[in-house]
Amino acid sequence: MKNVFKKNKYSISVIVILTAIVAGLSNCTKHDQVINPNVSPVILQDGILTSLVGTATLQAIGGTAWDGTIESVWNNAPKLTVHAVVPDPGNGAFPGGFIGTSTDIIMRSLYDANNIYLLIEWNCSQKNVKSAQWYYNPVTKRWAQEIGTPVIDKDGIITRPPFIQDQFVIMFDIANSTPAFAANSCYGACHVLPTPGAEAVMYTNGPTEKLDCWRARMLQVVNMNQANDTYIDWGGGLNNANQVHNDVQVNTTDGGGNNRQTIKITGTNTNVNVPVWMKISGSYSNSTILSSDTTNCVFVSAVDSNGIISYAAARGGTVTGTIDPRSTGPNGTDFQQVGKGDGPLCIPGSLVAPYTGSRGNVTANAYFTGTGWRLLLKRALNTNDVYKQDVDFSSLSDQSFGVGVMFNGADNQHAVAAGLKLVFKK
């Protein structure tokens, strides 16, 4: 992909850290799981992000969208430009054809007595905020959801693009608890199952180690002005699952969820998946349904063997109408896949609601310029976190960090820049 940002003014070199990985991560105790010794992470030699004193303005959580204007307060903030590349973790863990894809990321930072602010920009050719939207398959007569990985033919050609939201991730060490992080950043917590094709998962290497991870999922950011505040820990060494957890939240439904339910085809014992909520008009802002908007939606209460939906005004209510996806719009394709895209009435696969509790600590604004994203992040210097799930910036001491970006439909195959350091100019 062609980069439009100016060249990195910092020296970047690729360091093969085979010895460091073996020595620094030898206390990894996960069962049947290893750090892949063939990964050669990009470590920046002068990757310093200097944070200046200043206060930025962000649109409030749940408020109006940001128009992309960069305030003058950012003019003097030094820019750190890093070149992020999708690595090959090994064992086919990233199978979707994005390995080697890269982009430049430009970062700036400010802080004041209460908060830290980050301005991040990166180039990408697509604005991806859709996630697993529903379409009608006229061949199977079933409703199905788009997938987050590309469909690739035997010649390696992508025949159908992935349908997945863009994301930006930034990771910090909590209380300098993770020795591998200082040298290797996020690579110090990235592990690969030895089985070919297995997932690359994240966890730390001991019971006292924790990382703070902010995930700006663009579907959530453009609708709620929030990033997902998460943390990564050891997980007890009992399984091979990702140990990425949401910070403490008020209830399990905050942030929304899947717009999916399983019901039986009318008059049969056959279970099928269908949407929960939909709009008769098919007009969805930012390709989603807000949980607060379900009063403007109808509830899918039944589906027949041809995929015809019966709907009610509310969950459990009396059926008030039907929708036949075979006969709507030009040529009857408004609910169907059209070329490499979808018809205008295809239904969002996600419900979006505000994050609550400490999961909602990070305010985020995003704007797509047409050639890339601008992202603003804001968090309290000290969240007074009693669960040790957040990094504490209040001492203004240097902080190691790493970043990852998922763009152009790359899903979890994220471009990474590691070995960075945040320095507060006092």
Give the H/E segment covering residue 158: strand 158-160
In this predicted structure, the answer to whether residue 37 has a pLDDT above a threshold of 60 is no
Q: How confident is the model at residue 385 (pLDDT cuts 50, 70, 90)?
A: very high
Q: Do the bridges between strand 350-352 and strand 289-290 make them parallel or antiparallel, or are there none, so unpaired?
A: parallel
User: Residue 85: its pLDDT value, please?
Assistant: 92
More confident residue, 6 or 79: 79
Q: How confident is the model at residue 251 (pLDDT cuts 50, 70, 90)?
A: confident
Structural domains for the chain: 12-128+165-253+356-424 (2.60.40.1190), 256-352 (no CATH)
CA proximity to 16, closest of 87, 105, 81: 87
The 8-class DSSP code of residue 396 comes to -
The model's pTM is 0.87
More confident residue, 241 or 22: 241
- CA 418 – CA 180 distance, rounded (Å): 12
User: Residue 68: its pLDDT value, please?
Assistant: 98
User: Residue 238: its pLDDT value, please?
Assistant: 62
- CA 134 – CA 261 distance, rounded (Å): 12
Contacts of 147-152 with C-beta under 8 Å, sequence gap 24+, read 148/411, 149/95, 149/96, 149/411, 150/96, 150/97, 150/409, 152/96, 152/97
Extract the tokens encoding 267: 């008059």
301-306 mean pLDDT: 98
**Three-state DSSP class for 342?**
strand
Contacts of 330 (CB under 8 A, 6+ apart): none
Contacts of 25-32 with C-beta under 8 Å, sequence gap 24+, read 25/180, 25/188, 25/205, 27/205, 27/206, 28/191, 28/205, 29/205, 29/206, 29/237, 30/191, 30/203, 30/237, 30/240, 31/237, 31/238, 31/239, 31/240, 32/193, 32/194, 32/240
- The answer to whether 275 and 142 have CB atoms below 8 angstroms apart is no
Contacts of 337 (CB under 8 A, 6+ apart): 135, 137, 343
Q: How confident is the model at residue 48 (pLDDT cuts 50, 70, 90)?
A: very high
User: Residue 237: its pLDDT value, please?
Assistant: 67
- CA 262 – CA 381 distance, rounded (Å): 44
User: Residue 4: its pLDDT value, please?
Assistant: 34
Q: What is the pLDDT of residues 69-115, one digit of tens each?
A: 999 999 999 999 999 999 888 888 887 778 888 999 999 999 999 99
User: Residue 375: its pLDDT value, please?
Assistant: 98
Phi/psi of residue 5, each to 5°? -75, 155
In this predicted structure, the answer to whether residue 354 has a pLDDT above a threshold of 80 is yes
User: Residue 3: its pLDDT value, please?
Assistant: 36
- CA 345 – CA 340 distance, rounded (Å): 15
User: Residue 31: its pLDDT value, please?
Assistant: 35
User: Residue 155: its pLDDT value, please?
Assistant: 84
In this predicted structure, the answer to whether residue 295 has a pLDDT above a threshold of 90 is no
Q: Do the bridges between strand 298-303 and strand 399-406 make them parallel or antiparallel, or are there none, so unpaired?
A: unpaired
Q: What is the pLDDT of residues 193-241, one digit of tens each?
A: 878 877 788 999 899 999 999 999 999 999 999 999 999 999 876 667 8
In this predicted structure, the answer to whether residue 46 has a pLDDT above a threshold of 80 is no
- CA 401 – CA 174 distance, rounded (Å): 10
Phi/psi of residue 368, each to 5°? -95, 120
- CA 209 – CA 107 distance, rounded (Å): 27
User: Residue 191: its pLDDT value, please?
Assistant: 86
User: Residue 378: its pLDDT value, please?
Assistant: 98
238-260 mean pLDDT: 86
In this predicted structure, the answer to whether residue 50 has a pLDDT above a threshold of 90 is yes
Handedness of CA 280, 287, 370, 99 (dihedral sign): negative
Proportion of the chain above pLDDT 90, given as a percent: 61
Q: What is the pLDDT of residues 262-276, one digit of tens each?
A: 999 999 999 999 999
